[in-house]
Amino acid sequence: MSHFLADCATAEAASVPLPREVHPSYSDPNADILLESGDGVEFHVHSLIMKMSSGFFRDMLGLPGNLDNQEPIVMEESAIIVGKLLDLVYPNTGSPEIDPSLIWEVATAGDKYDMPPALRNLRYIVESKMHANQLDPIVTYSYACRFGWEDVAKAASTKTLDIDLSTLDESQISIMDCRGLFRLQNLHRARREAAFELLDIAYEPDSHHVAFHRCTTGQLFEPINSCCMTRGDFPFWILLKQSVSRELEKFSSGKTLHDDEFWRRSEFNELWKTSFPSHKCNGYDCKAFDRLATKLEVLRVLNSEHVPKTV
pLDDT category of residue 58 using cuts at 50, 70 and 90: very high
Q: How much is the pLDDT for 63?
A: 76
pLDDT category of residue 70 using cuts at 50, 70 and 90: confident
- Helix H segments across 43-89? 47-53, 55-61, 79-89
Q: What tens digit of pLDDT does each residue of 34-50 get? A: 999 999 999 999 999 99
R_g of the chain, CA atoms, integer Å: 31
What's the CA angle centered on 272, arms 266 and 273, to 5 degrees? 110
Considering only residues 92 and 291, tell me which one the structure prediction assigns the higher pLDDT. 291
Euclidean distance between the first and the last CA atom of the chain, given in angstroms as a whole number: 81
Residues 32, 47: Cα–Cα separation, whole Å: 6
Q: For residue 239, which of 286, 208, 274, 276 has the smallest C-alpha distance?
A: 276
CB 174 within 8 A of CB 139: no
Give just the sign of the alpha carbon dihedral 275, 279, 284, 285.
negative
pLDDT category of residue 236 using cuts at 50, 70 and 90: confident
Q: Which amino acid is at 235?
A: P
CB 290 within 8 A of CB 217: yes
- As a whole number, mean pLDDT of residues 164-188 equals 93
Considering only residues 160 and 17, tell me which one the structure prediction assigns the higher pLDDT. 160
Give just the sign of the alpha carbon dihedral 200, 205, 208, 210.
positive
Q: What tens digit of pLDDT does each residue of 116-166 get? A: 999 999 999 999 999 999 999 999 999 999 999 999 999 999 999 999 999
Number of other residues whose CB lies within 10 A of the CB of residue 163: 19
Q: How much is the pLDDT for 69?
A: 62
Residues 288, 273: Cα–Cα separation, whole Å: 6
Give just the sign of the alpha carbon dihedral 122, 127, 128, 133.
positive
Can you give the pTM of this predicted structure?
0.81
